[in-house]
Amino acid sequence: MADDSIAVVDLDRCQPDRCNYECKNYCPPNRTGKECITLRGEEPDQGQPEQVRISEEICLGETCGICVEKCPFDAIEIINLPQELEDDPVHRYGENAFSLYGLPAPQEGQVTGILGPNGIGKTTAVRILAGELEPNLGRYDESPGWEEVLDAYRGTELQDYIADVRDGDVTVSRKPQYVDQIPNQFDGNTRELLERTDERGALDSLVERLSIGPVMDQSIDDLSGGELQRVAIAATLARDTDFYFLDEVTPYLDIGQRVTAARLIRELAEEEGKSVLVVEHDLAILDLLCDTLHVAYGEPGAYGVITTPKSVRNGINEYLSGYLENENMRIRPSQIEFEEHAPRTATHRDTLVEYPDMTKSYGDGEFELAVEGGEIMEGEVLGIVGPNGIGKSTFAQLLTGDLEPTTGETDLDLDISYKPQYVTIDQHMRVDVFLSSITDQFGSSHWNTEIAQPLQLERIMEQNLSDLSGGERQRVAIAACLSDTADLYLLDEPSAHLDVEQRVQATSAIRRHAEMQDATVLVIDHDTYVIDLLADRLMVFDGEPAVEGRAGTPQPMREGMNDFLENLEITFRRDKRTSRPRINKPDSQLDREQKREGEYYYSV
């Protein structure tokens, strides 16, 4: 194989007990007597069939690809690496296993961001920076040791940091990606968890600014996703360490809470001089939060490349364009475009349904939602925005009939396909069996092109629903919602747990489904980019979270976003090059000007 190619065997997918070693038997070098694809040996004491290994020295590379085509379980990838990768990898996990090229460079007093898909090596990079994993420079069979690693980084921005890691002089505070796993690891209440972390004496301020006070004496098991996320952020920032790593700070948080979290992280870097590394998929928050940005690209599960640092604006714009200028690398076939003004007008559309004024009360003195009557148009995408705890999901359940209103009627006489906010698995079956039970279009060229491919379902079709990750579960739930035949498609937080690329592709699938099927779609989401790309009109919720909520009537995007952001005292501008929404720095000149003019959104 050429020096710029690698072979990857996914041992979780390789199932020799269910195949006839087609990869080995059809391999051209094997058929000429060479040992290109061989067997790894039986599982100890199991007597199970042997999985395969591929000799990268003998393999003909991606130009052949016969083993890739013949494997019935998509367990093999033969990949031509970018020609620009002249150096050895930072780390490779083993023969035919994942390789990481490049490391991010954390800086004291700065927030460094990483932007890229899941499965691309961000966690591996952080483990190396934290001193938990000794990089092997690609030599998985003989570890070179820290001294040789330090020599490899001599003269670079990482030299001093790697030396500190080698000497054990780096302490780390880390926020995990999946905060919903915290109750499985800690048994107690919020106060007990947080008081263990208060090493900087900043806990009281963090609790107040993140609005955690009301849940301090609640059991961790009883917290919602948004509450767990804020508790995890507080616990991470309360520690006194050299290096802070936060893996996804925005899931389950509304935009106001996201901005608050971003401000706290920036203050930690600027005022305390700490090194902070953040992985985030909300581009607007990433833009507000970071000083420099590394773009990560490659093939998830096969290899990942982390670029040298870029300015945040250029890094995000290059990512959106699909082309990295310094690396001369195309990472996506087409660019992601934003419209400068409100998307797609809703004129000349018939009314799908009118819903009346109604209320929903949850008992004496508890939360109450008041809904102003309105209409939903045929073929539109209606975005729904508002703070957490304000009644958005309650409104969705009123429409579906899962909840009865306290006053008013919701007999809409509609077939509604609903994806709830929290995706739970109560069926133990394979993904393909589950999806085929929903639609007779399963496997058709249209279904594959418009739903399966953009949602990246091909590689998980044979997995069980109960074995899926949070992001995989979300994509299957979106596919299930769109695959059903309905008058109205209602998706509650479809962007949760998806990386940026997956959000773009999911957004495209939802938008194309609305356009091609002339379908009506309601989308509840906190990601401004998702709403900006999707929505024709906007429905704004306001009030006092957990006390009372008010749902306004649907209105044009520009007016709706202005109303929504004015309540939060946040202003956006549009990037002059790409027209993407960008959050203005609080109290900046542009922020003050737009507030005076009442233009909180769509200012160019």
Q: Render 444-478 in DSSP notation, one character per residue.
A: SHHHIIIIITTTT-GGGTTSBGGG--HHHHHHHHH
What is the Cα–Cα distance from 250 to 532, expressed in whole angstroms?
17
β-bridge mates for residue 293, sequence order: 113, 310
Average pLDDT over residues 195-219: 93
Question: Does residue 57 carry a pLDDT above 60?
Answer: yes
Query: Residue 267's pLDDT is what?
Result: 94
Nearest CA-CA partner of 506 in 521, 488, 486: 521
Question: Does residue 79 carry a pLDDT above 90?
Answer: no
Query: Residue 339's pLDDT is what?
Result: 60
Query: Residue 44's pLDDT is what?
Result: 46
Q: What Cα–Cα distance (Å) separates residue 219 from each residue in 121, 193, 213?
A: 34, 10, 13
Residues 6+ apart with CB under 8 A from 460: 431, 468, 472, 475, 476
Average pLDDT over residues 384-389: 89
Nearest CA-CA partner of 115 in 301, 229, 265, 248: 248
Q: Which residues of 306-336 are buried (b: 16+ CB within 10 A; e: fewer)?
A: bbebbebeebbbbbbbeebeebebebeeeeb
Least confident range from 29-43, 132-146, 332-346, 422-436: namely: 332-346
Average pLDDT over residues 11-21: 87
What is the Cα–Cα distance from 170 to 309, expressed in whole angstroms?
21
Determine the Cα angle at 202 with ends 199 and 207, to 5°.
Answer: 120
- Per-residue pLDDT tens for 553-602? 999 988 898 998 888 888 988 888 877 888 888 889 999 999 999 899 86
Q: Which percentage of the chain shows pLDDT scores above 90?
A: 43
Spatial contact of 600 and 570, defined as CB atoms under 8 Å apart: yes
Residue type, 145: G
Question: Does residue 452 carry a pLDDT above 50?
Answer: yes
What is the Cα–Cα distance from 464 to 432, expressed in whole angstroms?
9
Name the 3-class secondary structure at 345: coil
Average pLDDT over residues 397-401: 89
Name the 3-class secondary structure at 286: helix
Give the pLDDT band of residue 348 (cuts 50, 70, 90).
low
- Per-residue pLDDT tens for 352-384? 989 999 999 987 767 899 999 999 999 999 999
Residues 6+ apart with CB under 8 A from 55: 35, 36, 37, 38
Question: Does residue 342 carry a pLDDT above 50?
Answer: no
Query: Residue 238's pLDDT is what?
Result: 96
Give the pLDDT band of residue 315 (cuts 50, 70, 90).
very high
Query: Residue 45's pLDDT is what?
Result: 47
What is the Cα–Cα distance from 98 to 120, expressed in whole angstroms?
9
Spatial contact of 264 and 232, defined as CB atoms under 8 Å apart: no
Query: Residue 42's pLDDT is what?
Result: 52
What is the Cα–Cα distance from 321 to 313, expressed in whole angstroms?
12
Question: Does residue 223 carry a pLDDT above 50?
Answer: yes
Question: Does residue 191 carry a pLDDT above 90?
Answer: yes
Query: Residue 340's pLDDT is what?
Result: 53
Question: Does residue 344 carry a pLDDT above 70?
Answer: no
Where residue 201 falls (left for φ over 0; alpha for ψ -120 to 50; beta otherwise) is left
Q: What tokens appear for 324 in the block?
A: 């990295």
Query: Residue 83's pLDDT is what?
Result: 62
Give the pLDDT band of residue 346 (cuts 50, 70, 90).
very low
Q: What Cα–Cα distance (Å) separates residue 167 from each residue in 137, 152, 175?
A: 19, 16, 24
Which of the two residues, 94 and 62, has the higher pLDDT score? Answer: 94
Name the 3-class secondary structure at 101: strand
- Per-residue pLDDT tens for 91-135? 999 888 999 999 999 999 999 999 988 888 988 998 899 888 999
- Per-residue pLDDT tens for 482-522? 999 999 999 999 998 888 888 888 998 998 898 888 889 99
Mean pLDDT of the chain: 87
Determine the Cα angle at 129 with ends 125 and 132, to 5°.
Answer: 90
β-bridge mates for residue 8, sequence order: 77
What is the Cα–Cα distance from 390 to 379, expressed in whole angstroms?
27
Domains present along the chain, CATH in parentheses? 5-80 (3.30.70.20), 99-329 (3.40.50.300), 351-555 (3.40.50.300), 569-603 (no CATH)
Query: Residue 462's pLDDT is what?
Result: 85
Average pLDDT over residues 422-435: 82
Spatial contact of 491 and 522, defined as CB atoms under 8 Å apart: yes
Least confident range from 85-89, 256-260, 529-533: namely: 85-89
Average pLDDT over residues 387-412: 87
Query: Residue 10's pLDDT is what?
Result: 87
Query: Residue 163's pLDDT is what?
Result: 92
Give the pLDDT band of residue 84 (cuts 50, 70, 90).
low
Spatial contact of 368 and 360, defined as CB atoms under 8 Å apart: yes
- Per-residue pLDDT tens for 248-259? 899 889 888 999
Average pLDDT over residues 56-83: 85
What is the Cα–Cα distance from 322 to 456, expressed in whole angstroms?
18
Query: Residue 341's pLDDT is what?
Result: 45
Name the 3-class secondary structure at 541: strand
Question: Does residue 208 carry a pLDDT above 90?
Answer: yes
What is the Cα–Cα distance from 419 to 520, expressed in whole angstroms?
14
Question: Does residue 343 carry a pLDDT above 70?
Answer: no
What is the Cα–Cα distance from 539 to 560, expressed in whole angstroms?
7
Least confident range from 1-5, 172-176, 191-195, 429-433: namely: 1-5
Q: What Cα–Cα distance (Å) separates residue 594 from each residue in 93, 154, 263, 512, 603?
A: 51, 47, 20, 34, 8
What is the Cα–Cα distance from 368 to 114, expressed in whole angstroms?
40
Query: Residue 204's pLDDT is what?
Result: 95
Query: Residue 62's pLDDT is what?
Result: 78
